[in-house]
Chains A and B, each alone.
Chain A
C-alpha cells in the first residue's frame, strides 16, 4: 500500500537528487526566454513583417477584434509553455529510466531498502514526482514568464495610450489559461501512464543502458510488426507499437509543439490549433477510451516494476 504521509518527503528527496533537472533547468529556460524578450524590446524585433514591441505595433494590435486579440495573444502565451514542456519531456524520460536503475548501480538501494518505506510507496513517489511535482514546477515557471511578458506588454500599452484591460489582460485570459494548464497536468499524467510505467519497469530490470532498452524494445517490436505485415498482407501493420508509443509522447494534452500550416494571419487555422488547448478539451480527454486503456497498461507495468524492485539488490 502507498503510505501517503511519506510521499511529500520522498518527492523532496527526488528534488534533492535532481536539483539541476527539476529546478535549475526551468529557471535557465526562463532566463534564456527573458534574454530573447529583452533583445526583442531593444531591437524592435520583427516576425513576418509585424513589428513587435513598438508603440505603433501596440496600437495596431489594439485595433483588432476581441476574438482576434484573444487568438493573437494565445500564440506567445502558449509558445512560452511549449519552451518548457519540450525540455520537460526529455528530463522526465531520463529521470524515469534512471529512477530505479541508478540506485542499483551505485548500490544505494541497500540504504533505501533499510528504510521503512515500501516498494509501492517508493515507486508511487517517483511517479508523483514525474507526473505532478515536476510539471507543476515547470508550469509555475512558465506562468511567471507569462506574467512578465504581459507586464512588459502593459508598459507598451500605457506608452501607446491604449486601454490596458481590453488590449492586454482580457485577451490573455489568464484564469482560464492557467486553469487549463492545471487540469492538463493530471490528465497528462494519466495519458502518459503507460509510458511512465514502461520507463520505470525498464529502470527496475535493465542491466545497463536503460534509456536505450526503453526505446529499443518498442522500436524493434514495431519494426518486426511491419516486417511480418508486409510479408503477409503487403502493407504496414495496423497497430504498430512504435507508432502508438510515439503518439503517446506527442499527443498529450499539454501543448508540446506548434506547427502552423499556412500564413500566421490565416485566422481559421490559427484558431483551430490554439483552441485545441482549452479547459473543456483537456477535461474531454478523460472521456477517451484510449486514455483509460493506457491507464490499465500503465498500472500493469507499474505493478511489474514494484515486484521486481521488491527482489532487487545491488548485484
Chain B
C-alpha cells in the first residue's frame, strides 16, 4: 500500500494527503482536505484557534488517528511512526519536555536513540544560551525550555521539520535570531519546514508557501509568488471609493480615515489608477480571507485543484 502511495505522489512531494479527515465524536476537526507539499518548501500553516491546524499536524506526525489517505516521506505516519521520526523533527507544542529530566540526560538519550542527532551541534546551540548540562527542565524558565527544545530539534539532520508555535514565550531578540538561523543555517533547500504561529508577521518573509485553514478546510494554498500576483491592496481616497468597490474587493478596512481595499485577481493597471498599490501582508490577507469566507473558499478550491 505504501509503494502505491509513493507511486501516486507528485514528484518530489514530501507530504501527500487526499481526503484527510479527523473527527472527534461528532465534531469534524478536519474535513476531507487534500494537499501536497513538495520538497524544499517552507510552509506556513495559518488558521484561527480551533481551525484544525493541530489536528492536521498530529496526523502528519503519527500522533493521532485519521481517515483518508496520507503519506509523509512515503510512510504511513501512524503505522511507521518510529521509522518516520528518524527523518522528521518536530516541536508539537511548547512545554512538552519531561520536567524531571536533566539537560545532559536529554542529550545523551537523543544521541543514543536518534541516528540523525548531532551532539556537537546541539551543544553549539546550547552554548548560546544560559542552560547548563546539569539543569533539570523543571528548574528552567519557560523561555529556556523552548530554547532547549529548539536546540535538540535543530541538531537533528531531518528531512522535514515541523514547528508548532515554536517561539511562544521567547523574547523578540531570540525569536529574530532563531528565524534568521533557521533560514540561513538550517534551511538548505533540501529540507521541508512547516510552521504554525500566531506571530505571522515574523515568519512571512521566510515562507515559500501559505496554507490558510478554517473550520477544518483549506481556504487558501498557494506559493508566495502567486500570492503576490493574485492579491493587491489599494489605498483609496474617498472620491475613488465607489469606483473601487465596484471591482468587488475581498476586504475593506480603514486606516487613518483612508480606505484600504484588498483585491484578488484584478489587473494591477486598473487598481493603480485608484490609488497607492502594494502587496498585502500575510496578516492582512489572512484577516481578509477569513472574514470573507465564501468567495475565497471557491477561489482556493480552484487554486488547490490547479496545484494538485
Binding site for B on A (CB under 8 A): 3, 6, 9-10, 13, 16-17, 103, 106-119, 121, 310-311, 313-314
Q: Which one, B58, B105, B113, contacts A6 given CB within 8 A?
A: B113
Query: In the complex, are the beta carbons of B100 and A16 less than 8 A apart?
Result: yes
Query: In the complex, are the beta carbons of B65 and A311 less than 8 A apart?
Result: yes
CA distance A3 to B113 in the complex (A): 10
The count of residues in chain B whose C-beta lies closer than 8 Å to any C-beta of chain A is: 36
Kindly list chain B residues whose C-beta atoms are within 8 Å of the C-beta of A117: 82, 85, 113
CA distance A113 to B64 in the complex (A): 11
Known contacts A16-B101, A116-B86, A121-B82: A10-B113 contact under CB 8 Å? yes
Whether B276 is near chain A, meaning CB under 8 Å from some CB there, is no
Query: In the complex, are the beta carbons of B58 and A313 less than 8 A apart?
Result: yes
CA distance A112 to B97 in the complex (A): 8
Distance in angstroms from A127 CB to nearest chain B CB is 17
Q: 5 tightest CB-CB pairs across the interface, nearest first? A: A118-B82, A9-B112, A116-B85, A108-B98, A110-B96
Restricting to B63-99, which residues have a CB under 8 Å from any CB of A?
63-65, 78, 81-86, 88-93, 95-99
CA distance A57 to B36 in the complex (A): 85
Kindly list chain A residues whose C-beta atoms are within 8 Å of the C-beta of B61: 113-114
Whether B176 is near chain A, meaning CB under 8 Å from some CB there, is no
Whether B62 is near chain A, meaning CB under 8 Å from some CB there, is yes
Kindly list chain A residues whose C-beta atoms are within 8 Å of the C-beta of B92: 110-111, 114
Query: In the complex, are the beta carbons of B100 and A116 less than 8 A apart?
Result: no
Query: In the complex, are the beta carbons of B78 and A310 less than 8 A apart?
Result: yes
Distance in angstroms from B176 CB to nearest chain A CB is 25
Residue ID in chain A nearest B63 by CB atoms: A313
Q: Which one, B65, B82, B99, B149, contacts A116 given CB within 8 A?
A: B82
Query: In the complex, are the beta carbons of B81 and A17 less than 8 A apart?
Result: no
Query: In the complex, are the beta carbons of A115 and B85 less than 8 A apart?
Result: yes
Kindly list chain A residues whose C-beta atoms are within 8 Å of the C-beta of B64: 311, 313
Residue ID in chain B nearest A17 by CB atoms: B100
Binding site for A on B (CB under 8 A): 58, 61-65, 78, 81-86, 88-93, 95-102, 105, 108-110, 112-115, 149
Q: Which one, A9, A103, A121, contacts B109 given CB within 8 A?
A: A9
Kindly list chain A residues whose C-beta atoms are within 8 Å of the C-beta of B110: 115
Query: In the complex, are the beta carbons of A9 and B78 less than 8 A apart?
Result: no
Kindly list chain B residues whose C-beta atoms are within 8 Å of the C-beta of A109: 96
Distance in angstroms from A231 CB to nearest chain B CB is 38
Kindly list chain A residues whose C-beta atoms are within 8 Å of the C-beta of B105: 13, 16
Known contacts A13-B109, A107-B95, A313-B63: A115-B101 contact under CB 8 Å? no
Query: In the complex, are the beta carbons of A16 and B83 less than 8 A apart?
Result: no
Query: In the complex, are the beta carbons of A106 and B90 less than 8 A apart?
Result: no
Query: In the complex, are the beta carbons of B63 and A115 less than 8 A apart?
Result: no
Query: In the complex, are the beta carbons of B102 and A16 less than 8 A apart?
Result: yes
Query: In the complex, are the beta carbons of B89 and A114 less than 8 A apart?
Result: yes
Residue ID in chain A nearest B164 by CB atoms: A110
CA distance A56 to B88 in the complex (A): 72
CA distance A221 to B114 in the complex (A): 44
CA distance A115 to B152 in the complex (A): 11
CA distance A118 to B98 in the complex (A): 18
Known contacts A108-B96, A121-B82, A310-B81: A17-B101 contact under CB 8 Å? yes
Name the residue in B62, B93, B112 with the highest tally of chain A Cβ atoms < 10 Å from its Cβ: B112
Kindly list chain B residues whose C-beta atoms are within 8 Å of the C-beta of A13: 105, 109
CA distance A10 to B113 in the complex (A): 9
Distance in angstroms from B126 CB to nearest chain A CB is 17
CA distance A121 to B113 in the complex (A): 11
Query: In the complex, are the beta carbons of A114 and B85 less than 8 A apart?
Result: yes
Kindly list chain A residues whose C-beta atoms are within 8 Å of the C-beta of B108: 9
Kindly list chain B residues whose C-beta atoms are within 8 Å of the C-beta of A113: 61-63, 81, 85
CA distance A103 to B101 in the complex (A): 13
Residue ID in chain B nearest A3 by CB atoms: B82
CA distance A112 to B91 in the complex (A): 11
CA distance A121 to B81 in the complex (A): 12
Q: Which one, A107, A119, A121, contacts B96 given CB within 8 A?
A: A107
| A/B interface sample: 19 pairs, CB < 8 A | A10-B113, A13-B105, A16-B101, A16-B105, A17-B100, A17-B101, A103-B98, A108-B99, A110-B92, A111-B149, A113-B81, A114-B61, A114-B89, A114-B91, A116-B82, A116-B85, A119-B81, A311-B64, A311-B65
CA distance A16 to B106 in the complex (A): 10
Name the residue in B64, B88, B113, B149 with the highest tally of chain A Cβ atoms < 10 Å from its Cβ: B113
CA distance A313 to B91 in the complex (A): 14
Known contacts A9-B112, A16-B102, A313-B58: A116-B83 contact under CB 8 Å? yes
Residue ID in chain B nearest A116 by CB atoms: B85
Residue ID in chain A nearest B87 by CB atoms: A116
Kindly list chain B residues whose C-beta atoms are within 8 Å of the C-beta of A118: 81-82
Known contacts A13-B105, A115-B110: A311-B78 contact under CB 8 Å? yes
Known contacts A17-B101, A114-B89, A115-B113: A314-B82 contact under CB 8 Å? no
Distance in angstroms from A110 CB to nearest chain B CB is 4
CA distance A117 to B115 in the complex (A): 11
Known contacts A107-B93, A110-B92, A313-B64: A115-B102 contact under CB 8 Å? no
Kindly list chain B residues whose C-beta atoms are within 8 Å of the C-beta of A106: 98-99
CA distance A3 to B61 in the complex (A): 20
Q: Which one, B83, B90, B100, contacts A114 given CB within 8 A?
A: B90
Kindly list chain B residues whose C-beta atoms are within 8 Å of the C-beta of A115: 85, 109-110, 113-114
Distance in angstroms from A15 CB to nearest chain B CB is 10
Query: In the complex, are the beta carbons of A314 and B112 less than 8 A apart?
Result: no
Query: In the complex, are the beta carbons of B101 and A110 less than 8 A apart?
Result: no
Query: In the complex, are the beta carbons of A116 and B114 less than 8 A apart?
Result: yes
Distance in angstroms from B155 CB to nearest chain A CB is 13
